[in-house]
A and B are shown apart, each in its own frame.
Chain A
Amino acid sequence: MSGARGRRAAALALACAGLALAASCGPRPTAPAPVTGGARGARYLGELLRREDAAAMADADVMLWARVRPGAFSGDTADAPPDGAGALTPLPALRADLLMGWPDALRLRFAPLFGVALDVAAWGDSVVAYAPGQRSGLALDAVRDSLGAAAPGRLLLRLWSAAWRPPEAAWRDAAPAGDLVLVRWVEAEDSVAVALDANGRPAWARLARPDGRGVRVTYERWELVSGVGWPMTLRVEGLDGSFTLTSRVDHLRFEPKRDDARLRLRLPPGAKRLDPARLGPLLEMMGGAR
């Protein structure tokens, strides 16, 4: 694990150095230099490296607000407006424990005050969800069960920690977009775009599947936690307008060692297994980042 992290850190450091070198090789400006895509890229990669090196695992208390289009997830569109748009309906806000383990594990436990209502873990290609109150859950495999989102753990981790990874070519083609610098690339079949602000932090990211479905994530507030810039408030929107999800991190703790026992969720013996179709559509909407 430490070797892999070390190699990744070395690769990122090399990329940072390359970007910084590229940014410094131009003519010496006589006035304050405008921030270029290269410099922002270097800042972005530097911050990403610091986020990932801050800990092998992060533990956060989060508050989640969701709004959905009626029937968008159940397939029952009887209550939906005829044009398919219309106002989204707010759902009750939920507090959750969020555990993130690099590079590909994430666990979210809802409503921990009176007891866990729903426990969801994404690990590599697998997703396990368990509702202790109902003693029922499901265990899915992204490939076997055609979730529509390969490596859902990695995707969710990227989304929550703003750890998008543009390839080298994407940095070369980065273009200004107003005050932002836009980096775009294609990953597997999906189109990914990340817009960086002047600090090199993602202002937003968009991931779209070939059929147009996908998500846009807006990073609304960043804070320094133990000297590391972290997205504390983010908003996820379905590209089809079917939902929004706002996440606010209230407390964030970095932990030096990844604890797989805390990240992994197994259905207890005797748990009732639910139909995978109940989780699939939700993940499918989130696209298929690798």
Chain B
Amino acid sequence: MRRRTRHAGALALALALLAAGAPAAPGAGPPPGLASARALLARLRAAGRAEAQVRLTRHDPLSGRDVVVRGTLALERPGLARLDLADGQRLTLRGDGGDMLQPAAKQLVRAGPRSAAGLLSWWGALLDPEGRGFRERRVGPRAYELTREGASEEEAQRLTLGADGLPATLVAALGPDERVEYRLARWRFARARGRAGFVLQAPPGYEVVELP
């Protein structure tokens, strides 16, 4: 899972977009945490659950091909995330780890906090109202660069908010010529369903791989 969580770091960052927020109200003084996360966190706090349609595009400079995957993202507090992709892959993150279901491999990976630590550090920080673990820099009217504490500037991910202050686009650079773009649309908010919806079950015939 370590490799998975590492490559899914960009995904976690996309989830992190959730953390993007609107500017503070005049006279209220700057609230703590990431400015880019405030609107999402406020609405998530009020409703309990956020959902968005996700379109992931990765340009592969070697083959010249674009890989496009669509799915649905769901978020709940505290620190619950789930991504359901159109090809059947599922990924969840919780405070105690996360699960990944791969139909093509007929495998469910259950990762504990140690194996999912890399991903959780992004995820936990971005759903954290304090925004701990991140640096944020405003680079446009609705655009921000987010960098993990201790990481170099070249690892910054660019987050753009929509007119409603909710995350709309995240671009994660993977290398000099390679990047992944997440487009988030059709945000909707509903009552929380609870932790059980973020624990995946293995269908019959699937192998379960447990990681610490």
Contact = CB atoms under 8 A, between A and B. Distances in A.
Interface of A: 59, 63, 65, 90-95, 97, 99, 109-118, 131-135, 250, 262, 268
Contact of B7 (A111, A135, A262): A111
Interface string B73-107: 00000000000000001000000000010101101
Contact of B107 (A93, A110, A134): A93
Contact of A262 (B6, B62, B180, B209): B62
B7 A116 contact: yes
Secondary structure dominating the interface of B: mixed
Contacts of B1: 92
9 contacts: A65-B105, A90-B209, A112-B60, A112-B67, A113-B7, A115-B10, A116-B174, A118-B3, A132-B178
B141 interface: no
B178 A92 contact: no
B3 A117 contact: yes
A117 B4 contact: yes
Given A114-B8, A262-B62, 17 more contacts: A65-B105, A65-B107, A90-B107, A91-B209, A92-B211, A95-B105, A97-B60, A111-B4, A113-B69, A114-B7, A114-B180, A116-B175, A117-B7, A118-B3, A132-B174, A132-B175, A262-B63
Contacts, number: 82
A134 B146 CA distance: 17
A132 B180 CA distance: 13
Interface of B: 1, 3-4, 6-11, 56, 58, 60, 62-63, 67, 69, 89, 100, 102, 104-105, 107, 109, 155, 172, 174-176, 178, 180, 207, 209, 211
A63 B174 CA distance: 22
B83 to A, nearest CB: 10
Contact of A115 (B89, B104, B180, B211): B180
Contacts of B3: 92, 94, 110-111, 117-118
A97 B211 CA distance: 25
B102 to A, nearest CB: 6
A232 B134 CA distance: 45
Contact of A114 (B10, B105, B207): B10
A90 B108 CA distance: 11
Contacts of A99: 62
Residue of A92, A118, A134, A135 most packed against chain B (CB within 10 A)? A92
B66 to A, nearest CB: 12
